[in-house]
Structure 1
Amino acid sequence: MSDIAIRPATAADIPVISELAGVIWRAHYPGLITHEQIDYMLAQRYNPIALAEEIETVGHRLDALWMDGVIVGYANYFRYSPTEMKLDKLYLHPDLHGQGHGSRLLEHVFDESRKAGCSALILCVNKGNEKAMKSYLRNGFSVRESICVDIGGGFVMDDFVLEKSLA
């Protein structure tokens, strides 16, 4: 049986999470977005400086999922409104999909959001990301709205906003 733990990421974890993001995104997103957009978003949101800012920002959490001493996944979330937490990132190494580890990480975010006094969790998911949509719907989320956000560089995020009541 594997030794599994979820704990807040530290500055020392940032290079590993940044590298893991590249592995995950390059395995998962081709076909959903272009390779150019993948590279743009990795450079914009997953560079070590951006990740370090997230762990240093009050109210933001970046928690790592460890398995046998290795970071294999992570979740980034923050208070979006007085009653809502927003899950900004939840990713797991592709070799571990379908084993319940993503749901375990999601349950951790539910628990931490409740502890923070939030009654709902929201997130955005690419409209074409059927695998993630199925997982989130299976975990009690519903579609709140459809959005398309310009993220610069000539790219957009064409997403559904999902929400789950934590009551």
Structure 2
Amino acid sequence: MSLHCEIRPATRDDIATIADLADRIWRTHYPGIIPAEQIDYMLAQRYSHAALLAQIEAADQWFDLALIDGKPAGFAQYYRSAPDEIKLDKLYLLPELHGKGYGSRLIYHVKKQARQLGGKTLILSVNKHNKKAISAYQHSGFVIRDSVMIDIGGGFVMDDYVMAKTL
């Protein structure tokens, strides 16, 4: 049975909810993909109140919250990375909701928004060992465009594929 899915713009009132979702999702999904110390570091770096507030209120960035039957279940954050390119920087859904079509709905929503923003290409970065996410993105029409290793500080790197989809 499908539950009602609503995707709406996040506001400053959603910051604690987003941080809680990120903590729950990351601590379930990323062990075995990246070390626990890197999970802690990246959560502190990317999901602090100040970081989330800056992303929610930035002019050329968008942050959306997914609600399933009225309950926060995931989120997406994206921004203009070039005049005709939008980067999907964050897309997360509670693990218990995987495989039910909600992740696809969130990706579809971001693709639609990116087109409305004049984007011709949607890109994202995904950890090379995150097989489940890579498969989901390929199923949505993304292809691997590049391989990158980015120093994020704290002695950690992101070893990612850059994936792209023409809109």
TM-score (norm. length: structure 1): 0.98
Task: Measure how far apart 1:27 and its partner are.
Answer: 0.3
3-state SS of 1:110 partner = helix
Deviation at 1:62, TM superposition (A): 0.5
Structure 1 runs (4+) deviating above 6 angstroms are none
Percent of pairs identical after alignment? 54
Paired residue type of 1:26:
R
Amino acid across the alignment from 1:47: S
Deviation per CA, 1:144-163: give whole Å up to 9, x if none: 00000000000000000000
Partner of 2:25: 24
- The AA in structure 1 aligned to 2:49 is P
SS in 2 for 1:37: helix
Report whether the alignment pairs 1:46 with 2:26.
Answer: no
Contact residue 5 and residue 102 of structure 2 kept, 8 A: no
Deviations 1:26-77 (A, max 9, x none): 0000011000000000000011211111011101000000112211000000
Instruction: Tell me which amino acid in the other structure corresponds to 1:39.
Output: D
Partner Cα distance (2:28, 2:149) in 1 = 23
Give me the whole-angstrom Cα distance separating, in 2, the residues matched to 1:44 and 1:20.
15
Q: Which residue of 2 aligns with 1:139?
A: 140
Partner of 1:9: 10
Paired residue type of 2:135: K
- AA aligned to 1:74 is F
Structure 2-normalised TM-score? 0.98
Aligned residue in 1 for 2:66: 65
CA shift for structure 1 position 3: 2.7
